[in-house]
Structure 1
Amino acid sequence: MKIFRNYIAGIAALSLFITLNSCALRSVPSDYSDVKIESVDLSTLGNGKILIYNGASILHSMDNTARLNFWINKKPVGQIRTKEYVIIDLSNGIYEFNVLHLDMVNMRSNHSVSVNENTKVIRIEPTITSNKLTVTNVLPQNFEKYNNRANRK
């Protein structure tokens, strides 16, 4: 009986491990060059330099569903994880953002974004049924805890 319980406990632990890691989205390589800024604040952004960050909540962070792959005009930008950001250079115009996160199934969304000289900050976050994109032009709370995606080790 004891061997049977250990066997069942092992199967349950393995199933839980596989389930939690099945939501890990693989990164896509970026076709965009990250802009390097020593000290990021609102005064260093704008005029084409746009900070895009992952605004995922703690609920998505717990199970690896917070990883976001995104494309701009069908050109891959790459992946940003929870508490990560990327700064890219975009000229004025209207751009099509395609966002993907994995939550047992692929959750895709498309967003049209108008970029001008005043566009500074974009928040992307996974939701339970899709993804949400908002031009906020405000740095997230506790921004000092965010990491530049380029510094990922």
Structure 2
Amino acid sequence: MRKYLLLFLAVLFSSCGRKPIETEFSLLRTFSEPLLIDNFDSGKILIYNGAGFMHKIDHTTSLNIWINDKQVGQIQASEYVLLYLFPGKYEVKLEHRDSFKFKSIHTIEIKSDTRVIEIKPTIVSNSVTIANKIPHNFERFKNVLK
């Protein structure tokens, strides 16, 4: 009985991770810290994973992201990517795995003043928010390319 319980727990916790996807975007590196969004040129967008504490505990923070059916890649909790998205409407697909695979599709509108987008897993789906501000603990975040 103990063997089966251990096997069940091993499968449960190992199933939460997502296989990374390759990017089809030209992601940008950052060379200065802290990142100053006021200095972004038009179209430069920061996308960060704002997963909360509960998702970090069970390692369900890995989000695979697609924008207009192009793979951006996988963003872990406290990670971000920088890329160019010019004004217009975009379809954002997010996927994370908990005990099940959670996929969601969101339509966002990028405007000329859009600079920051927060993505995060939720209990039963995912969310996308145009935040336009960097989170208060951003010094702990790292660029996916570093």
TM-score of the aligned structures, taking structure 1 as reference length: 0.88
- The reply on whether 1:63 has 2:58 as its aligned counterpart is yes
Q: Displacement of 1:46 after TM fit?
A: 5.1
SS across alignment from 2:145: helix
Task: Indicate the residue corresponding to 2:145 in structure 1.
Answer: 150
- The reply on whether 1:30 has 2:35 as its aligned counterpart is no
Cα distance in 1 for residues equivalent to 2:40 and 2:13: 37
Q: Displacement of 1:95 after TM fit?
A: 0.6
Structure 1 alignment gaps of length 5 or more: 1-7
Number of matched pairs: 144
Q: Name the larger-Rg structure.
A: 1
Percent of pairs with identical residues:
38
SS across alignment from 2:56: helix
Task: Indicate the residue corresponding to 1:113 in structure 2.
Answer: 108
Contact 2:30 2:143 in 1 (8 A): no
Q: Displacement of 1:51 after TM fit?
A: 0.4
Name the aligned partner's letter for residue 113 of structure 2. Answer: N
Task: Indicate the residue corresponding to 2:13 in structure 1.
Answer: 20
TM-score of the aligned structures, taking structure 2 as reference length: 0.92
Cα distance in 1 for residues equivalent to 2:39 and 2:53: 29
Structure 2 alignment gaps of length 5 or more: none
Cα-Cα RMSD: 1.3
Task: Indicate the residue corresponding to 1:132 in structure 2.
Answer: 127
Task: Indicate the residue corresponding to 1:94 in structure 2.
Answer: 89
Q: Higher helix share goes to which structure?
A: 1
Contact 1:46 1:118 in 2 (8 A): no
